Amino acid sequence: MSALRKKFGDDYQVVTTSSSGSGFNQPAPEKKKKRQRFVDKNGRCNVQHGNLGGETSRYLSDLFTTLVDLKWRWNLFIFILTYTVAWLFMASMWWVIAYIRGDLNRAHDDKYTPCVANVYNFPSAFLFFIETEATIGYGYRYITDKCPEGIILFLFQSILGSIVDAFLIGCMFIKMSQPKKRAETLMFSEHAVISMRDGKLTLMFRVGNLRNSHMVSAQIRCKLLKSRQTPEGEFLPLDQLELDVGFSTGADQLFLVSPLTICHVIDTKSPFYELSQRSMQTEQFEIVVILEGIVETTGMTCQARTSYTEDEVLWGHRFFPVISLEEGFFKVDYSQFHATFEVPTPPYSVKEQEEALLISSPLMAPSLCNSGEKNSSLDGLETLEDMETTTKLPSKLQKITGRDGLPRKLLRMSSTASEMTYSLGDLPMKLQRISSVPGVSEDKQLGAKGSKIGEPISQSVADLPPKLQKLAGGGTGGRMDGHLPPKLRKMNSDRFT
């Protein structure tokens, strides 16, 4: 524990989310009602198909896949039943031939040549079939040349036996070697976490491979299952949305030789853009994770699945590190695979954080500036007086200054040159030259045309359009406050003093 705090700081607290974790004490979680899942933790989909009607015949058209998909107990039952019926049927055919020819009554006559030697009842006919089918050939029972129907039945038996062996043995082999068993050695963390990574709110979960054999071309995908209602009123109970886990950057292609943490950055394109710690208590969703790859030893495609419901997503947690460097190799401690620890994480959604950042920005929009936030006034005017001053500005001057309702900080004339330049940044160049502060450099005060310091200001005003000359005082050499309200004129005069 001391080593953990030395590495991550005193503000971090270890939380073990697995019953087989590292043994840290934590209060027992409250029992909640079992959540109905679409995909179980082991990857099984909780979907049952009903009321198929006449569509059940489609299963017989693909009989091989139907047998492979059956459970093992049904596969073994069909396997034994098929061979038993086939053996009894073929043994009965040999017995019928011997019965029709009369071989059963004259089996012990040395001068009579039967169809099959030493077949005088049904058990002996069954033993002859087994010896022929299994190519045992004890030599006691055999077909004679006096029975052409026996030769035809022998050919039919060989063909039928090869078909049954190929079908059933192939079915059993495919079922035993199917890649579902390989998926048992692919692990997913029991919980997903949400915390900050690289300055962004990120949804994370962990995957691991227990075998030394690699998963070739491993790729991971995530689906968000959530019910919603369309603007037209249609209700979608299981709407599937894609969660980007690095498709654009190639991070979804995994080199799965050690446990990896899969990240989904929550941004404006994410379905979790408006998700906060408080809203998670009322939201209902399910995150389905699909890991696909090619098994290195068999070359077959393998798929492993799991899911996380909203109560399995931990806000403000991070996964415990499991990889350590030993002498000459890296060691993975799977006992800490599911363990997490708490980290400082803002409880707000990404949308709320962006709105708060926009409101606190000095270049905020006018509608956000009038939201009731009080700003300090340099000249001691009240909020009501500032609003009156703004509304009394002429419409043309409001258009010149940028907007009809600028923030108070931009309307107040600051005494410093930096604040004045910031406030007049949207004015035309000639008005900036007229309203510039005395004492700045010649180039900034008189513009780029090279006017001299002693030149009257009215000469610069004369270059303005007629409408702007009227606003600036008619080119009489005065300042631009001839038509301004008294309060704003007083503010402007203090600025030029």
This prediction's pTM: 0.58
Q: Is 33:173 a contact under the CB 8 Å cutoff?
A: no
Query: What pLDDT, on the 0 to 100 scale, is given for residue 120?
Result: 83
In angstroms, the CA 195 to CA 202 distance is 6
Which DSSP string corresponds to 226-246?
EEEE-TTS-EEEEEEEEE-SS
CA distances from 157 to 52, 122, 135, 138, 154 (A): 38, 17, 12, 18, 5
Strand runs (DSSP E) across 174-316, as ranges? 186-188, 192-197, 200-209, 215-229, 235-243, 253-254, 260-265, 286-295, 301-309, 313-315
Q: What pairing do the DSSP bridges indicate for beta strands 340-342 and 317-319?
A: antiparallel
The pLDDT averaged over each successive group of 10 residues in the chain (497 residues) is 44 44 45 75 85 75 84 90 92 90 78 83 90 81 85 90 90 82 88 94 94 88 92 90 90 91 93 92 92 87 92 94 89 92 93 89 48 39 41 48 44 41 46 46 40 43 57 46 55 52
Q: Is 227:236 a contact under the CB 8 Å cutoff?
A: yes
Q: Is 266:350 a contact under the CB 8 Å cutoff?
A: yes
Of 169, 163, 175, 171, the C-alpha closest to 86 is 163
> 427: which DSSP letter?
S
In angstroms, the CA 298 to CA 291 distance is 17
What's the helix, strand, coil split of the chain in %, to 5? 35, 20, 45
Those residues whose C-beta lies under 8 Å from the C-beta of residue 283, and which sit 6 or more positions away, are 275, 310
In angstroms, the CA 420 to CA 415 distance is 7
Query: What pLDDT, on the 0 to 100 scale, is given for residue 208?
Result: 93
Of 386, 203, 400, the C-alpha closest to 308 is 203
Q: End-to-end distance of the chain based on CA atoms, in angstroms?
A: 66
In angstroms, the CA 404 to CA 407 distance is 10
